[in-house]
Chain A
């Protein structure tokens, strides 16, 4: 049994910043992460790849190295390659590492599980060769591998960043097929005054667009009726714009229309969650320190609501302050004093968010997929089946799950949960909050029966 005062799940921006801050107050920290090395997805393999590919990945990536360096502290024990499969609010965490199940106990738990790409069910999205834009970025960061003959599909700043990185790698994408319209951007403009405080993000975005224009990357906006064609693998993207139907032959399709909080762990503890209409997703309910309804469980970073990597380092630190105070390592006045500059920076970091959320809304076609479109990748359930179950009286996702298996596969609803909630909400005309979400239980990640059996008391 591992013991620590603080157990952190996830070694991304929030988890690493929280670990360093908490260790600074003398707390013992166990940092568990599924990847072999720290960084999370945003700074994946920054220790290895920063020196090799820093130029094409950019400053925002290489900056992650200093957060990784701060983990080199005697109070921090980082266990990479640890797949957490159960968390209980009393402070026990079960995980599998090197083929053996283990248990850790902490006085406080911080969930820093980050984000998932918003599911983007389009016709053909299960074909080999279709990936998330985030996946393409991970391949580039972690492995120096870049997709040739790729088309990026969806909406949001990440698409421009990935495209620019591909340009710098000498392999520009064939095209960007964007779903936002000029109207979306104009409607978002009323949030611009506030967004100007977060000017840095807007300027970066404009810089990326210039880079793509110079490289001659084709951009289509306001795309509708998007489908991925192919027999056995992705061969082309088809869509419609104001200029009529289009078809682009390609080998790889990269999807993205925003990211959403990864709530698997917080859901597994039955913590309260609320629907965030601006971000079209659920987020766990936490206070200004990231404390959840379970007093020993904190949530920081994108897992508590999407705000990006820099904000995550700040919310991670805020949770660390509260936890240090809880455990008697930091007086209240010092906690509040230390929090002040963090909160000021956080306000700047999140200033551009309302503008970005509205300028790049989720792709409407993927929020309400056509009947034939597969929405549950694992069990291969279509949107039409969910609508049929709604007609049979299923009000919520747990009923459709038992009727048609959507959400029962190994991904545990990570890539169909929000879609099912949206479909049922639309069918019954009930709000997403009332419609609810999948009930998540252990295992958060599969564990072999052999590993599990070894934990039985003999």
Chain B
């Protein structure tokens, strides 16, 4: 098997990059695992989100803003190609606050970031009454919210499905049920799988989520990623109750209300706990009291893929030129830049984005 690119990892990140490369006429083979395994692409919250990101690194805020701005066109093109509606809504999103102090602190941080971004950070503060006009079901304990106009949400599972479909339609080859065991270098790369499959490619992109921690060193990467668990729950399908999404809850396009998420350092344990779910429920009911009567129908734990500072890593291998590490926490938000901008970086075109600050050498 010969391809311009072998992409190790068929989640949202790997498929977004694959789709973008195919769109430019490159040949791509995506190597994906089986039904088990910690798949962040199946468990994430589905926000296309800008606010609160890059508070310490404005370049990350910009990168997220670029992606959010590209998302509509990306969703449109992918939707036209596959017939799948990604459920994108970009009408703003909230950071809800239960105390005046935390609200004021956050606003102060956003003001700093806004100056660093030259003013392009469209947020506004809504007090309780103003918020209630927008969200009639908001509870009395919510003192206010930051409404950020660049925020929104999409259906992440439809995105995953559309990418899996779109990559195939565009002529990409997707090998499933494979486990990569070695990557050999010679004339290009040869990726060897446990079942004996070998894929030859000029270049390799490692986008295997938490799997990069093991596979990275084979290609000369440090790949310092760790799991962080987020528990999420979802209610039965309800009539419209929440207008805009927040970090606490969002109403998905099918009607269920998704509530998240915990932040837990528990290694590879992706289980759910009664304590975690009860805390999520408590906060959601405080934000939207009508939810007390709603039935929770599902819950899950998913593992975030985090670098030490939480930002993405985009790195070409120092020892294996032509091998790239692509990993991030926010694969949904960044799907549009991964599809539409990252190929410029991989192909070194004049339009290549400057991703220097996302080098993994920042951790050495």
Contact = CB atoms under 8 A, between A and B. Distances in A.
A181 B173 CA distance: 45
Given A402-B41, A449-B291, 5 more contacts: A92-B274, A392-B168, A393-B176, A410-B295, A449-B284
Contacts of B42: 398-399, 402
A450 B285 contact: yes
A395 B300 contact: no
A452 B275 contact: no
B297 A456 contact: no
12 contacts: A393-B32, A395-B177, A398-B35, A398-B36, A399-B42, A403-B157, A403-B161, A441-B271, A441-B272, A450-B281, A452-B277, A452-B282
Interface residues of B, number: 42
Interface in B261-315: 271-272, 274-275, 277-279, 281-282, 284-285, 291-301
Contacts of B279: 456
A435 to B, nearest CB: 8
B187 interface: no
Interface residues of A, number: 38
Contacts of B278: 452-457
Contacts of A410: 236, 295, 297
Nearest to B41: A402
A447 B295 contact: yes
Contacts of B284: 449, 453
B34 A408 contact: no
B236 A449 contact: no
Interface of B: 10, 32, 34-36, 41-42, 157, 160-161, 164-165, 168, 174, 176-177, 235-236, 254, 259, 271-272, 274-275, 277-279, 281-282, 284-285, 291-301
B296 A446 contact: yes
B296 A399 contact: no
Interface of A: 86, 88, 92, 94, 103, 389, 392-399, 402-405, 408-410, 412, 435-436, 441-443, 446-450, 452-457
B168 A449 contact: no
Contacts of A447: 295-296
Nearest to A392: B164
A448 B296 contact: yes
A382 B164 CA distance: 20
A456 to B, nearest CB: 4
B299 A442 contact: yes
A398 B157 CA distance: 12
B176 A395 contact: yes
A442 B300 CA distance: 8
A56 to B, nearest CB: 37
A160 B88 CA distance: 53
Contacts of B291: 449-450
Nearest to B257: A449
A436 B36 contact: yes
Given A86-B274, A447-B295, A403 B281 contact: no
B272 A395 contact: no
A442 B297 contact: no
